[in-house]
Amino acid sequence: MAKTALCVGVNNYPGTHMDLHGCVNDAQDWAAELTSRGFAVTSLIDAKATKSAMAKGFKSIVAGAKKGDVVVITFSGHGTYVPDLNGDEADGLDEGLCPYDLQTGGAALLDDEIHAIFATRAAGVRLVLISDSCHSGTVTRAAAPDPDVSDDVPRPRFMPMGNWLPAEQLPRGPSGQPLMRTPQVSGVSAFTKAVSRAAGDLLLSGCQEGPNNYSYDARINGRPTGAFTYYALKALRSLKAGATYADWHAAIHPAYLPSSTYPQSPQIVGNAAARKRKVFT
C-alpha cells in the first residue's frame, strides 16, 4: 500500500487585497505530519499553487495511485463561488478553490473540474480530502484591510466574487445590476461534489455547509494558522493507536471547535465504513 499526499497552501492572492496569513504554515504542518506517517508528500505553496499547477497536481497524484493506496490532499486558502454555467447546481453557483493566480489568471479550480479529475482514479484508491477554507459569503467586493486593525483578528477564508471576477460576469438581479448577495447559497466545500461515498472517500472540512459558516484564518500562540488545521493536528497527535476517522472528528468537534473565538463546526463527510476506517489506512 503506497501513501501519497499533496499539500496546498495559499496566503498571497495578487490583485485581490484578500491575502491570508496562516495557509502556508498549514500546508507545511500537514506535510510534516504526513511525512512522519510514511507519506510521500508534494507541496504547492503560494506562487507555485497556480490553477494549472493545482489541476496538474491533483491529476498526477490520482493517476499514480493503485487499488489499496491512500491519497491525501490538503487545501488551505480561500474558497469562492462563480455563476453555474451548466445548470447542475441548485443554488446557481459552482464552488471553487482559489489558486494563487485567481485574479491574475482569472479562474478558480471549480468543483466540476475536481470531480472530473477524481472520477478518473483507479477502483479501490482511498481518497482523503482535508479542506481548511470556506464557501459562504457575499457576492460584493470586500473592503481592503484596515492597516490599523491587527492581523490577530480572525478572517474567514472566503473570497467574494466581486474581488476577482470581472463585473460583467457577476450574477445580476432583475434590475440588471450586480447582486450584493445571492438569495440562497449552499456553502458546500468545493471538494464535496468530488467525494464518492460508494468508493469510501473521506472529506474533513473546517466548517459546516450552508450560509454563515466559516473557516477562520487565525493566530494561535502568536503563529498564523488555520483554526481547523491547528486543532485537527492537535487532535490527531493525541489519538490512540487504531483510532478511526470518526474518532478523529470527535476529538476535534466539539472538544476544540467551535470556540468563542472561532465559531466554526468542522464536519466529516463519508459513508459509515469509511468513517470507521483507521486513520490514513
Task: Give the full edge-to-edge strand order of the sheet including 155-156.
Answer: 155-156, 216-220, 223-226
Catalytic-labelled residue, pool 7, 78, 135, 249: 78
| DSSP per-residue letters across 126-193 | EEEEEEE------SSPPPPPPTTS-TTS-EE-B--GGGTS-GGGS-B-TTSSBPSS-S------TTGG
Judge whether 78 counts as a catalytic residue: yes
The end-to-end CA distance of the chain, in Å, is: 9
pLDDT of residue 69: 98
pLDDT above 70 as % of the chain: 87
Q: For 104-117, how does the pLDDT look when each residue is reduced to its tens digit (9 = 90+)?
A: 998 999 999 999 99
Mean predicted confidence (pLDDT) in 72-86: 88
Can you tell me the distance from the alpha carbon of 207 to that of 18, in angstroms, rounded to the nearest whole number? 20
Residue 215 domain flag: yes
280 SS3 class: coil
Mean predicted confidence (pLDDT) in 93-110: 92
Contact predicate 105/17, CB 8 Å: no
- Alpha helices, DSSP H, located in the chain: 23-36, 51-63, 102-105, 111-118, 227-238, 245-252, 272-275
Residue 281 domain flag: no
Domain carrying residue 50? 3-275
pLDDT of residue 194: 87
Mean predicted confidence (pLDDT) in 7-22: 96
212 — pLDDT class (breaks 50, 70, 90):
confident
Contact predicate 156/21, CB 8 Å: no
Can you tell me the distance from the alpha carbon of 174 to that of 118, in angstroms, rounded to the nearest whole number? 37
Residue with the bigger pLDDT between 36 and 146: it is 36
Can you tell me the distance from the alpha carbon of 171 to that of 177, in angstroms, rounded to the nearest whole number? 8
> 176: which residues sit within 8 A by CB, 6+ positions away?
none
How are the residues of the chain apportioned to helix, strand and coil, as percentages rounded to the nearest 5?
Answer: 25, 20, 50
The helix (run of H) or strand (run of E) holding residue 3 is: strand 3-9
Whether a cis peptide bond, with omega within 30° of 0, leads into 263 is no
Contact predicate 110/82, CB 8 Å: yes
Residue 277: DSSP 8-state: S
pLDDT at 77 over 90: yes
pLDDT of residue 146: 61
Mean pLDDT over the full length of the chain: 90
pLDDT at 145 over 70: no
> 91: which residues sit within 8 A by CB, 6+ positions away?
84, 182, 184, 185, 186
pLDDT of residue 218: 95
Mean predicted confidence (pLDDT) in 19-45: 98
pLDDT at 70 over 80: yes
Q: For 178-196, how does the pLDDT look when each residue is reduced to its tens digit (9 = 90+)?
A: 665 565 566 788 899 889 9
Other C-beta atoms closer than 10 Å to the C-beta of 87 total: 7
Catalytic-labelled residue, pool 7, 23, 98, 134: 134
Can you tell me the distance from the alpha carbon of 29 to that of 17, in angstroms, rounded to the nearest whole number? 25
Q: What cell does 273 get? A: 465504513
Q: What CATH number does the domain containing 242 carry? A: 3.40.50.1460
151 — pLDDT class (breaks 50, 70, 90):
low
Can you tell me the distance from the alpha carbon of 215 to that of 22, in angstroms, rounded to the nearest whole number? 12
Residue 280 domain flag: no
pLDDT of residue 191: 93
Contact predicate 92/176, CB 8 Å: no
pLDDT of residue 92: 64
pLDDT of residue 85: 65
Judge whether 249 counts as a catalytic residue: no
Can you tell me the distance from the alpha carbon of 8 to that of 49, in angstroms, rounded to the nearest whole number? 7
Mean predicted confidence (pLDDT) in 209-225: 92
Count of structural domains within the chain: 1
